[in-house]
Amino acid sequence: MSTHKLPGYRATLRTAKRLAEEAVPVVERAVPGKMPDVQIILATGRGMAELVTAAEVETAGDVDKWVQARALRAAKRAADDVAGRTVPLADGGVLVVINVEQHPNEAVFATTLVHELVHAMQLSRKGVRDRIVSGLRNDLGVERLSRRQNRECERCLEQEEREAYSREYLARSVVPSAA
């Protein structure tokens, strides 16, 4: 766990480490799959956009510079409304970036952390990482999917998002006030 362009957040980092140590075993027990190598980074909205875009570009592969810049601009526009993102890494690990500006207390942070760790567990399931990467390559214009494949990717993403929201109750066992 680390921070990105976040001076003066040492206490927040300590709290985040403690919550992550408690949340990982809870999520591992409750969600099918195997917990991959997870890097958790705390950042502001703008820093989150930079990290996520860089990880997506690296994972997608051969991405044009213009497309990278457009993806970064889009991520920066949406960053203030996003509490966290989970992105597969090229080396097989998972990057979880959490926007500290969206978390006023431990309970909200624990809920977001559990949600993103559920997504990390989903990435360990058979075929999910490949589907996410192919959808990412489609979004970045590297390799196009057919309309049917794109709809299937969107449907699976919605299903995984519903599962992650349905498991947010696990945050209550990490922080009792997360109810």
Give the DSSP letter of residue 80.
G
Residue-wise pLDDT for 58-100, tens only, equals 999 989 999 999 999 999 999 889 999 999 999 999 999 999 9
pLDDT at position 176 over 90: no
Q: Where are the domains of the chain?
A: 2-178
Whole-number Å distance between alpha carbons of 179 and 167: 12
Nearest to 62 by CA among 168, 142, 172, 169: 142
Residue 9 pLDDT class (50, 70, 90 cuts) = confident
**Percent over 90 (pLDDT), the chain:** 91
How many other C-beta atoms lie within 10 A of the C-beta of residue 66? 9
Residue-wise pLDDT for 99-154, tens only, equals 999 999 999 999 999 999 999 999 999 999 999 999 999 999 999 999 999 999 99
